[in-house]
Amino acid sequence: MVLIVNAFGTPYEIGFQHGQQAKDQVLGSISYYGTLFESTCGLDWTGVREEATKYLDTLEKLCPEYLEEIRGIAEGAGVTLLDIVALNLDGCTALAIKSGHGPSFLSQNWDWVTRQGENLIVYTVNRQDTDIPRFTVVTEAGIIGKIGLNESGVGVCLNAIKARGVDHTKWPVHLALRKVLESPSRQTAIDELTSTGLAGSAHLLIADELGATGLESTAKTVELLSADDQGVVIHSNHLLLDHDGSEESLWLLDSPQRSDRMQQLVTEELSSKQGLTASDIFRLFQDEEGYPNGINRDAADDSSAETLFNIIMNLSERTATIAFGRTTNVVERVHVSF
């Protein structure tokens, strides 16, 4: 069973509940990312924590309340502040569709290393005595922002991208996701993130009941991707727009094929109907063309990553269904409504 954490109160209290209730999963996330950073960057966890100190001034300036929540997670889980800061710093396919008068959908398969699936949590946050909307996010324990929606009908998905550069004065990607989840509208979120920029490269697919916008970033630039004439935005794990001065390394060679395949599937579906239902969208994310490295990814051959969950958000109705496991082998479903 996936752990569900419902947290409320001040930022510190919210974080403490997260850390205390998800202690085992937080420790699991630290263990996993410690191994990952050492194998990919040559940094042991002490070095990772030293790198995390470079962001403290930015967090104090941009989002001191997030730093308090992170402090609460650390104390609740019995680890250091820098352990949790490090988790929140810097393989999937995402789709948003708003056709005519139909509902606004936002959906994604989230692909990552199989082992990290046991550290996923469903995290609902209710900041008391503020006008910040309640939100629910599917995240790795210890990370305060990822993929989800809020009670105002704003949702966000994430596609990791690998491009050179980092800017410690800008929004770390996971905290940028959190900022979206606390926003009353898509445009408010876009204005906030474009004014400061993101610390590294990523694509955030931001949507509300009126439609969707892709926010594609590097450490130097932010570019916006508008919906096509069918109200569709599709993205995977590579840059689609021009970013002056940015050097991208295509870290998932199948990324262009996955986005092209999703575009083909959506076009075929919309050729015979006015819009898509949640069931239609889930079926698209079951596609296995290019197996094991398709839209519905499997950990096979030389790959250790697979689809860990699918989420379909109906932003018009403020609901979501999260299907854990590969979309052809769902092990658990969690329903969210506001």
- Supply the pTM of this predicted model: 0.96
What are the tens digits of pLDDT across the range 76-107?
999 999 999 999 986 678 999 987 778 999 99
Lookup: tokens for 305:
């990553």
Q: What is the pLDDT of residues 136-172, one digit of tens each?
A: 999 999 999 999 999 999 999 999 999 989 999 999 9
Give the CATH class of 3-337.
alpha beta
Map 301-328 to HEC letters: CCCCEEEEEEEEEECCCCEEEEEECCCC
Best CA proximity match to 225, nearest among 162, 295, 149, 157: 157
DSSP state of 239: -
107-133, pLDDT tens digit by residue? 999 999 999 999 999 999 999 989 999
The residue with tokens 């919210």 is: 14
Phi, psi dihedral angles at 111 (to 5 degrees): -110, 130
Residue 261 vs residue 39, higher pLDDT: 261
User: Confidence band (pLDDT; 50, 70, 90) for 39?
Assistant: confident
Q: Per-residue pLDDT tens for 273-306? A: 888 999 999 999 999 999 999 999 999 877 789 9
**Helical residues (DSSP H) of the chain, grouped into ranges:** 11-21, 23-41, 45-52, 56-62, 64-77, 81-87, 173-181, 186-196, 255-270, 278-284
Six token digits for residue 177: 């996701």
Rounded-to-integer distance, Cα 237 and Cα 222, Å: 16
Which of 72, 74, 94 minimizes the C-alpha distance to 83?
A: 74
Give the CA angle between residues 125, 128, 133 to the nearest 5°: 55
Output Rg (C-alpha) for the chain, integer angstroms.
18
